A and B are shown apart, each in its own frame.
Chain A
Amino acid sequence: AQSVSQHNHHVILSEAASLELGCNYSYGGTVNLFWYVQYPGQHLQLLLKYFSGDPLVKGIKGFEAEFIKSKFSFNLRKPSVQWSDTAEYFCAVIPVDSSYKLIFGSGTRLLVRP
């Protein structure tokens, strides 16, 4: 079955530290990839998406992600986090030629200490 794995369930960083959140998916075909963020008490917001082309994708708020097809990975990065980045981050995948369902990872809770 298709699945998305986010390796870190909880991450704690100090402000200005660099961030990398891992995401791996299990599907051998073409995929669309997404990162969503959910700030405390709010709904999910799209951070960035990858459909095709340059595997390094830049999103909002200084986030970027790199698609490595050979590793089935789509890791999220930010060079310097801020306290306001405290949120839960979800990686999601759409298997394009299969179900077209958006499959979410279990999420990573990021706490940034001032």
Chain B
Amino acid sequence: DSGVTQTPKHLITATGQRVTLRCSPRSGDLSVYWYQQSLDQGLQFLIQYYNGEERAKGNILERFSAQQFPDLHSELNLSSLELGDSALYFCASSLSGAQFFGPGTRLTVL
């Protein structure tokens, strides 16, 4: 158990819909990272937040957005969902250096 929690574990929705994924970092970690893992794209960095502010952006689509709240938990919002958005979405947290990953949310878009 890494100490990073993510909800929900599984999410099944339809194309065009919007979903919100939630992540709670390890106690004391200020940085939260979001990743997408799919069979064809591998592990892709989406976005990083540090103490409430966006710090780095990766291959995140405009339909996706994220935020980090004052209590340091983070949400990833995915809208206008497409079939290709089906993937595992991981959150990770760190204080400095090594990132610790949560169990992931498996998103299935039908």
Contact = CB atoms under 8 A, between A and B. Distances in A.
Interface string A38-54: 00001111100101000
B43 A99 contact: no
Nearest to A100: B56
11 contacts: A34-B99, A44-B90, A44-B92, A45-B101, A46-B98, A46-B100, A100-B56, A102-B92, A102-B99, A104-B43, A107-B42
B104 interface: yes
Contacts of A42: 103
Contacts of B103: 42-43
B58 interface: yes
B25 interface: no
B109 to A, nearest CB: 20
A106 B42 CA distance: 6
Given A43-B2, A43-B90, A104 B100 contact: no
Contacts, number: 43
Contacts of B55: 100
Main DSSP-derived SS at the B contact region: strand
B18 to A, nearest CB: 25
Interface string B21-65: 000000000000100000000110100100000011010000000
A61 interface: no
Contacts of B97: 32, 49, 51, 94
